[in-house]
Amino acid sequence: MDRREAILRELNLYPLWKRRGTPAPAQHVAEPGAAIQPEAPVPVTATSAVREPESRSTALEQPVKVETSHVPAVVPRSDVAGLDWAELKQRVSKCTACKLRAGCTQTVFGVGDEHADWLFVGEGPGADEDALGEPFVGQAGKLLDNMLIAIKLKRGKNVYIANVVKCRPPGNRNPDAEEIAACLPYLQRQIELIKPKLIVALGKVASNALLGRDATLASLRGKLHDYRGTPLIVTYHPAYLLRSPSEKAKAWHDLTMAMRTRNDASGSD
Ligand code: URA
């Protein structure tokens, strides 16, 4: 068993079903017990139409359409707008704009390739991240690393990982609206500096913060969103997947959509 197969097994995503007589598609995976679906190339289509959530059996065969009806409400604060990486890191480390800094050990800025094509955005540091100063280093981080490997990515290599809030919310509660509003400009500036080709928002907090929405995760999944001209795909937060492993197949569906979106766009980069 190779490493990718082992990881797909861990994600409850094995076996990969392949159509006879065609090259093995890396991204088409059947849910356990699901019928084998024929392969179809899936173009990414820019349109304002919104694709409603569909059953998994048809979703991989449909064009991915861009949701353009919302733009993020928050714009980078002018005092963050011109900062370079070093200045931004310094600014974040000194930030006391909300009450979270008083209760955390250190700020957790982000990690990875500062020119990455792929940006993964979580919610905020947990206890492990607070102690180590790096995002996604606990159990949820291990799962995120495996999700990356499953789509042939690797932490730090063409991948950047950041959070909406840079300080640990006490007791691992969700950051509140004020905390998100105070911290979001830092993430927005990180995105401006990275210029990712694709953003994957992990969970409801990251998705709503980036899209300027207050929507359910279910209503946001399965659509190609737009963050200021950058495609954005919504999937489950790895911590949720640890609690609800039966949802991992849906997360895999989101990741295949992300891969398809990236692959389809890479020709025109
Ligand atoms: N959960 C997050 O959203 N971010 C982390 O860095 C760790 C856990």
| Residue 268: pLDDT band with limits 50, 70, 90 | confident
129 CB under 6 A from ligand 1? yes
Which of 120, 134, 136 best tests ligand 1's pocket when mutated (most atoms within 8 Å of CB)?
136
| Residue 267: pLDDT band with limits 50, 70, 90 | confident
Residue 174 pLDDT exceeds 70: yes
120 CB under 6 A from ligand 1? no
Residue range 154-171: average pLDDT? 97
Predicted confidence (pLDDT) per residue in 84-134, tens digit: 999 999 999 999 999 999 999 999 999 999 999 999 999 999 999 999 999
238 CB under 6 A from ligand 1? no
111 CB under 6 A from ligand 1? no
Q: How far is the CA of 11 from the centre of ligand 1 (A)?
A: 19
Q: What is the pLDDT of residue 76?
A: 56
> How far from 129 is each of 2, 63, 198, CA to CA, in Å?
30, 38, 24
What are residue 161's DSSP bridge partners?
Answer: 111, 120
Q: Which atom of ligand 1 is nearest to the CA of 203?
A: 3
231 CB under 6 A from ligand 1? no
Q: Which atom of ligand 1 is nearest to the CA of 161?
A: 6
Hunting for tokens 């009806």 — which residue is that? Answer: 69
Residue-wise DSSP of 28-86: --PPTTPPPPPP----EE--S--PPP--HHHHTTSPEEEE-S---S----HHHHT--HH
Question: What are the domain boundaries of the chain?
Answer: 85-268
Task: Centre a 10 Å sphere on the Cβ of residue 142 and count the other Cβ atoms it contains.
Answer: 14
Gap between the Cα atoms of 3 and 146, Å rounded: 10
Predicted confidence (pLDDT) per residue in 54-89, tens digit: 333 333 444 456 665 444 445 456 789 999 999 999
Which of 129, 166, 179, 241 best tests ligand 1's pocket when mutated (most atoms within 8 Å of CB)?
129
- Choose among 88, 91, 140: nearest CA to 114: 88
Q: Which fold has domain 85-268?
A: Uracil-DNA Glycosylase, subunit E (3.40.470)
What are residue 202's DSSP bridge partners?
Answer: 235
Amino acid at 135: P
**What predicted TM-score, i.e. pTM, was given to this entire model?**
0.79
What are residue 112's DSSP bridge partners?
Answer: 160
Residues sharing a CB contact under 8 Å with residue 168, sequence separation 6 or more, in sequence order: 100, 103, 104, 105, 108, 124, 125, 126, 127, 129, 130
Is the model more confident about 237 or about 39?
Answer: 237
Amino acid at 241: L
